[in-house]
Amino acid sequence: MSQIAQEMTVSLRNARTQLDMVNQQLAYLDRQEKLAELTKKELESYPTDKVWRSCGKSFILQDKSKYVNDLSHDETVLLDQRKTLKIKKNYLETTVEKTIDNLKALMKN
């Protein structure tokens, strides 16, 4: 009986660790989405057709429309990643809840 409880405790600890990592990744995606959105808004307010884009330690001259399209694509990728992470988060939350319930039931017996 104690072997099962130990295994469940390890499983619970692992699920909580993974859940924390998923929450951190979701927070990072939030920041990236906001950055892309704000950059896109800022670029759309510029009257010029060409803008300088950061590329590592240097800059390249690029069409504003191309840069805005790249940012829109990045936002789409971020939304897909967010969807996947939310599914994983839901799974991990369910796993944590069920493991806790099972541990409680095991301790009652």
Q: Could you report the per-residue pLDDT of 31-58, keeping only the tens digit for each? A: 999 999 999 999 989 899 999 999 899 9
Question: b/e for 41-64, b at 16 or more Cβ within 10 A?
Answer: eebeeeeeeebebeeeeeeeeeeb
In this predicted structure, the answer to whether residue 80 has a pLDDT above a threshold of 70 is yes
Q: Torsion angle, CA of 95/25/43/60, rounded to 10 degrees?
A: -140
Q: What is the pLDDT of residue 1?
A: 67
Q: What fold is seen in the domain 1-106? A: Helix Hairpins (1.10.287)
- Boundaries of every domain in the chain: 1-106
Q: What pLDDT sits at residue 91?
A: 96
